[in-house]
Structure formats: C-alpha cells, structure tokens
Structure 1
Amino acid sequence: MAAMSSSERPNVLRALTRGLKGRCPHCGEGKMYWRYLKVEPACPACGHSLSQYPADDGPAYFTILIVAHLFVAPLLLFPVIWQAPPLLMVPGALIPLGLLTLILLPRIKGAFIGVLYAMGVKEADQALHSADLAE
C-alpha cells in the first residue's frame, strides 16, 4: 500500500480497526508496538510518527470499563458466585479477569491511538489546553 499524504486521513472506523489489529493507523501495515504496550516511535512501513499521540490513561479506563461492565457485573447475577467458598471463587474469578484485561489492553490502546489519529489529536495540542487553564 502506498503511503498516504497527511491530507488523506482515513475515517475513524478504519483507523480504529487498524489500531485494534495493532497496526499503524496511517498505513495499516507497520506494527504499532515493539513491546507489550510500548508504541514504536515511527511506523516501520511508512515512517509516520506514532509517538505523537497521547494515549496515557484512556486505554486503561476503557479496558476496566469493558471488563467490569460486560464480564464482572453479569457474573454477580449468578448465585454460585455468592455461595461458593471464597478460596475457590477468588482465584477462579481473578485469574481469568486478569488474563482478559491483559489481552484487551493492547488492542484497546491501539484503537485509542487510531481514534486520536483520525481526529487529529496530538501531544503538541496539550499546550493549547494548558494555556486555556492558565487564563
């Protein structure tokens, strides 16, 4: 795929999908991570700077929201959760939920970076917002 110019920004859904796959939101080919959650400074395929997107706490909040509301809350409706011995239920619940969180976190972080890319939000934009707060 040929590299896109900066004016050819993909739509939010395409950038989000590329991020979910762990690919560069700009070209969709280069890998986004060089470690578990460490974002490549630049895309190895197109050279797009990936380190300019401020994905600080947002992905962790969305991961907790998804895991807690879609997986934990429905489990609490079953009486077996409340009636089973705690020594059995605590590890039986925490281990799968911990694994699910670790599996979802890089995907959600990629999607978050993809949305930031599609919306044009960059680390340099933070100066605009901090100037508004100082006034």
Structure 2
Amino acid sequence: MSGDNPETETGQPSIGQAALFGLCPNCGARSLFDGLAEFASKCSKCGLDFSKFNVGDGPAGFLTLIIGAFIVGLALWLEVSLSPPFWVHALIWIPLTMMCVFGGLRAAKAALLFSEYSQNAGEGTIKK
C-alpha cells in the first residue's frame, strides 16, 4: 500500500514541494518550468513529457480573483486607516499584486500537474 502514495516513494517530491519549487513529479528535479509560468516540454533529468498533462488556464482566473479581492481589501484598509497619497498605493499594490499572481500561478499550475501525474490522468483519447 505504501507504493500507492507518491509522497513516500524515493525521488518523488510531495505536492507542496513540487508546487513551491517547480519540481518534476517523477524525479524531483527543478525542471518543471521553462519560463515565469510556462512549463518546460519535458524534464531535463528523467525525460517525463510535461506536454501530455492538461493544466489549462483554470488557475489563472481563479487566482486572479482571489488575489484581487485580497489586495483590494488591504488597499481599502490602508486608505481608511492611514489615507496615504495615491503614489504610495501604486508603489505598494502593483508590485505586490504581480508577485502574488505570478508566484501563485506557478504554484497552482505545478500542483495541478503533480495531481494529474499522481492520479495517472492526462489528455483523453478516443479509442477506435
């Protein structure tokens, strides 16, 4: 039964580790991403083909809404409590929003790919 859990197998990272560090779900190498939030075509260490997993754009919309609500709440709180000039809001919230969205997007996409890998899911095929 311990072979069914990828978190306990040698070489395979946990879903949290894979999401935070962009680790390959098969071997644990830091080869999942080729860009800021773009998957590499395959793992440079073990050769796992990442293109067969369909993560899609679902995490982008979901994360943007959640992070947007959080940032707007914080900005409103800051405005009501301290009333800083507009440039202070721009200086704080624009970079923070970008960091949260891109960092969250990387983590969410990596977690979804890891989940697909651990459940042996992938693109559906029609058998003839």
TM-score normalised by length of structure 1: 0.66
Q: Which has the higher contact order (CA 8 A, sep 6+)?
A: 1
**Alpha carbons of structure 1 residues 54 and 17: separation in structure 2 relative to 1, 3 Å:** same
Specify the code of the residue in structure 2 equivalent to 1:80.
Answer: S
**TM-score (normalised: structure 2):** 0.69
Q: How does 1:110-121 map to 2 (within 5 A)?
A: 110-121=110-121
Shift of 1:57: 1.1
In structure 2, do the counterparts of structure 1 residues 68 and 52 end up closer, same or farther at CA, with 3 Å as the change threshold? same
- Name which of structure 1's ranges 110-119 and 56-65 shifts more when overlaid on structure 2: 56-65
Counterpart residue identity of residue 10, structure 1 = P
**Contact between 1:39 and 1:50, CA under 8 Å: does it hold in 2?**
yes
Equivalent residues in 2 for 1:1-135 (5 A)? 10-11=6-7, 14-78=14-78, 79-80=80-81, 83-123=83-123, 125=124
Alpha-carbon contact 1:42-1:49 (below 8 Å) kept:
yes
When residues 87 and 37 of structure 1 are mapped into structure 2, their CA distance, relative to the original with a 3 A threshold, is closer
CA distance in 2, matches of 1:22, 1:48: 14
Deviation at residue 38 of structure 1 after TM alignment: 2.5
CA change 1:16–1:95 in 2 (3 A) is closer
- Whole-angstrom distance in 2 between the partners of 1:69 and 1:103: 16
Which has the higher mean CA deviation after the structures are superposed, 90-99 or 71-80?
71-80
Tell me the CA shift for residue 70 of structure 1: 4.5
Q: What 5-or-longer segments of structure 2 have no aligned partner?
A: 8-12
Distance 2:5 2:39 in 1: 20
Q: State the percentage of identical aligned residues.
A: 22
Q: Find the residue that maps to 1:42 and give its secondary structure.
A: coil
Moved over 4 A (4+): none
Q: What code does the residue aligned with 1:55 have?
A: V
- Secondary structure of 1:56's match? coil
Is the Cα contact below 8 Å between 1:16 and 1:112 reproduced in 2?
no
